[in-house]
């Protein structure tokens, strides 16, 4: 498939798994938090639940989604219902938001200790599209988006950010709804059909397709090419350098 980036006015990047390898951190922290919580329930109520599985549960229930949506979806898969709580709930509270904040503390600790790994091909791609005059944005469910971009030293590459904080403040539903991507396009003053979405999550490519974006690029880290194509990606690559290496300009 031939791609001319000059046909577009903007590229909207997901963060985790697209610009940074922080999805590994998120996946491990989700597992640590959920497994510990399920063990607590086992001690208190004698319940037995299957532990969080990174290879299946992460992609199915939490990848690319707003934090509370991920907590709710995973717990529902284990037939557990909790009160929603509020976004400022203490991590000790047994609510949807409390568990999400519990996981967030783990993420912040890991990033503080280990830093952030950048995906070099995506960084090169971002520089290239900006050199062509395209606008750029990061569209992420993470409320730590700004912190991660600053830690990675790449915040200045992007004209705007629509993250979990923006979504919460403006009442935007998270992916697979297209609202956060559409908000980024509006902030950049570009039309969705003249914009490219870059995603590695199933919920993300679904959002790109639902929003009527001109091109949805899927990044396949785990042999999910067929699934990404089925759910809305127009093309799927292992690394964005493949697009540049193939002479697409």
92/69 same-domain check: yes
Q: Identify the domain containing residue 234 by its residue range.
A: 5-21+117-245
196 neighbors 214 (Cβ within 8 angstroms) = yes
- Selected catalytic residue, list 14, 57, 179, 234: 14
Residues 151 and 235 in one domain: yes
**11 and 42 housed in the same domain:** no
Whether residues 147 and 226 fall in one domain: yes
pLDDT given at position 2 = 57
Same domain, 212 and 126: yes
Are 134 and 217 contained in the same domain? yes
What CATH code is carried by the domain that includes residue 161?
3.40.50.1000
Q: Which of 95, 114, 133 is the last residue of a domain?
A: 114
What is the per-residue pLDDT across 195-211, written as a single tens digit (0 to 9) for each?
999 999 999 999 999 99
Predicted confidence (pLDDT) per residue in 141-198, tens digit: 998 999 999 989 999 999 999 999 999 999 999 999 999 999 999 999 999 999 999 9
Choosing from 16, 63, 163, 224, the catalytic residue is: 16
Same domain, 91 and 155: no
- pLDDT level of residue 246 (50, 70, 90 thresholds): low
Per-residue confidence (pLDDT) for residue 52, from 0 to 100: 98
Summarised one tens digit per residue, pLDDT across range 48-65 is 999 999 999 998 999 889
Q: Which of 97, 114, 131 is the last residue of a domain?
A: 114
Condensed to tens digits (0 to 9), the pLDDT of residues 3-19 reads 788 899 999 999 999 99
pLDDT for the residue numbered 189: 98
pLDDT (average), residues 126-147: 95
For residues 194 and 148, membership in a common domain is answered with: yes
Same domain, 149 and 221: yes
Residues 109 and 148 in one domain: no
The yes-or-no answer on residue 16 being catalytic is yes
Same domain, 57 and 129: no
Number of domains into which the chain is organized: 2
Predicted structure pTM score? 0.83
């Amino acid at each position: 498939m031939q791609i001319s980036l000059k046909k577009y006015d903007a590229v909207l990047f997901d963060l985790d798994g697209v610009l940074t390898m922080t999805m590994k951190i998120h996946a491990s922290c989700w597992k640590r938090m959920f497994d510990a919580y399920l063990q607590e329930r086992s001690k208190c109520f004698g319940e037995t639940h299957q532990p969080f599985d990174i290879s299946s549960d992460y992609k199915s229930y939490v990848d690319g989604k707003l934090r509370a949506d991920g907590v709710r979806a995973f717990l529902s898969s284990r037939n557990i219902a909790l009160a929603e709580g509020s976004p400022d709930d203490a991590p000790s509270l047994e609510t949807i938001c409390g568990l999400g904040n519990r996981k967030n503390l783990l993420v912040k600790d890991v990033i503080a200790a280990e830093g952030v790994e950048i995906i070099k091909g995506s960084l090169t791609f971002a520089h290239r599209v900006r050199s062509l005059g395209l606008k750029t944005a990061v569209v992420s469910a993470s409320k730590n988006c700004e912190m991660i971009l600053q830690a990675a030293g790449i915040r200045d590459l992007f004209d705007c950010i629509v993250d979990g904080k923006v979504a919460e403040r403006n009442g935007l539903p998270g992916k697979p709804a297209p609202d956060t991507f559409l908000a980024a396009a509006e902030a950049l003053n570009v039309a969705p059909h003249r914009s490219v979405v870059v995603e590695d999550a199933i919920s993300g490519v679904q959002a790109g397709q639902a929003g009527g974006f001109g091109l949805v690029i899927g990044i396949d880290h785990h042999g999910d090419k067929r699934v990404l194509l089925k759910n809305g990606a127009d093309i799927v690559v292992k690394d964005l350098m493949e697009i540049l290496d193939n002479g697409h300009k």
